[in-house]
Copies of this chain bind each other. A is one copy, B any other.
């Protein structure tokens, strides 16, 4: 997608054993970079970095982003940081509010402090379309009306964004803030496609669906997501760059159920819990305007349906992964 030489030699990846982090690690290694992976293994999956660990240009450090001292030491020698560590399960924000704050906000502060200490040139951060709250403009562009936060997850990620942008302004490191829709594909281990597949394995004849199934969702395939991140850190022009990542389509949860059951050859009866939201704080519709990243020359290669099917295919081939998350 780009012919420019990649302007970094040593990448530091937090959340390196997670879904997106490990996929990024493998891509960076394949590009010939030296990669330092950092993960506290609270939700990281050892199998995801098993191949990477066989390579001489990969170093893995087990540690928590909240441990600024260990983080700073591990980051030595890197020139770009991909900060993907996060509290990924957004449904429990109201049960464990401190977790979002610690992992997504204070953790991000720790990462930028370590980055400053190490003279890091650039930092890429996985934020979320949830920062738009109940967006009045859909598809939602990066400069949408200043939103009111509706979830702790979104609020804690927005706080991380703000800290990174302020550090870019104050200390000169460049930043790349990505507001993701939901990502799926190989190594996807949470969210509704995962939940549906797991439920259908247990009982192929019925499927409980949170909400009314009409919730509209936008997804992006994980390799398209990685393409976008690598393209942006090479092509985005500003000191601080905020970029939506997503496809230009959306689906309803019901569409996704149809693709999943069709792919598996199942016809379960569907039981809806009702209401227009899957859980309190769930946003009924996140659909992002991606004109900005497209203007830099990136395009997604897969449709949402392709992504859902690749996810199911991977889960079918890696049933062990179904047991790794509650």
**A243→B218 CA distance, assembly (Å):** 32
A265 CB-CB contact with B under 8 Å: no
State A132–B162 Cα separation when bound (angstroms).
11
Chain B residues in 8 Å Cβ range of A122: none
The answer to whether A53 has its CB under 8 Å from any CB of chain B is no
Interface membership of A33, Cβ < 8 A: no
Given contacts A159-B158, A171-B94, contact A166 B150 (CB under 8 A): yes
Is A144's beta carbon under 8 Å from chain B? yes
Cβ-defined contact, B152 with A158, below 8 A? no
Copies of the chain in the assembly: 2
Q: Which residues of B have CB within 8 Å of A150?
A: 165-166, 169
Contacts of A156 in B (CB 8 A): 159, 162-163
Point out the residues of chain B lying under 8 angstroms from A146, CB to CB: 132, 142-147
Taking CB atoms and an 8 Å cut-off, the chain A residues in 106-153 that contact chain B are 106, 109, 113, 132-133, 142-152
Q: Which of B97, B154, B167, B240 contacts A162 (CB 8 A)?
A: B154
Q: How far is the CB of A238 from chain B (nearest CB, A)?
A: 9
In the assembly, what is the distance between CA of A149 and CA of B155, in Å?
14
Contact of A148 among B132, B240, B280 (CB under 8 A): B240
How far is it, in angstroms, between the C-alpha of A160 and the C-alpha of B163 when the chains are bound? 12
What is the minimal beta-carbon distance from A139 to any residue of chain B, in angstroms?
14
Please state if B113 and A106 are interface contacts (CB–CB under 8 Å): no
Chain A count of residues within 8 A CB distance of the other chain: 40
Q: Quick one: CB contact mask for A279-317 with B, threshold 8 Å, 1 for yes? A: 011000000000000000000000000000000000000
Question: Which residue, of A97, A155, A166, has the highest number of chain B Cβ atoms within 10 A?
Answer: A166
Of chain B, the residue at the smallest CB distance from A135 is B146
Main secondary structure of the interface of A (DSSP, over half): helix
Q: Enumerate chain B residues within 8 angstroms of A165, measured Cβ to Cβ.
A: 133, 148-150, 155
Q: Is A93 an interface residue (CB 8 A)?
A: yes
Those of A51-106 within 8 Å (CB) of chain B: 93-94, 97-98, 101, 105-106
Closest chain-B Cβ to A159's Cβ sits at a distance in Å of: 3
A170 within 8 Å of B by Cβ?
yes
Please judge, given known A-B contacts A106-B101, A154-B166, A166-B154, whether A149 and B161 are in contact too, CB under 8 Å.
yes
Residues of B within 8 A of A149 (CB): 161-163, 165-166, 169
Q: What's the minimum C-beta distance from A226 to chain B, rounded to whole angstroms?
A: 24
Does A28 count as interface, using CB distance less than 8 angstroms? no
Interface residue A10 (Cβ < 8 Å from any Cβ of B): no
Cβ contacts under 8 Å, A132 to chain B: 146
Interfacial chain B residues near A170, Cβ < 8 Å: 93-94, 151-152, 280-281
CB < 8 Å: which of B97, B142, B148, B151 contacts A242? B148
Q: Which residue of B lies closest to A112 (CB)?
A: B97
Listed from nearest, the 8 A-B pairs whose CB atoms lie closest are A155-B162, A159-B159, A143-B145, A149-B162, A149-B165, A155-B166, A152-B166, A150-B169
Q: Which residues of A contact B (CB under 8 A)?
A: 93-94, 97-98, 101, 105-106, 109, 113, 132-133, 142-152, 154-156, 158-159, 161-163, 165-167, 169-171, 240, 242, 280-281
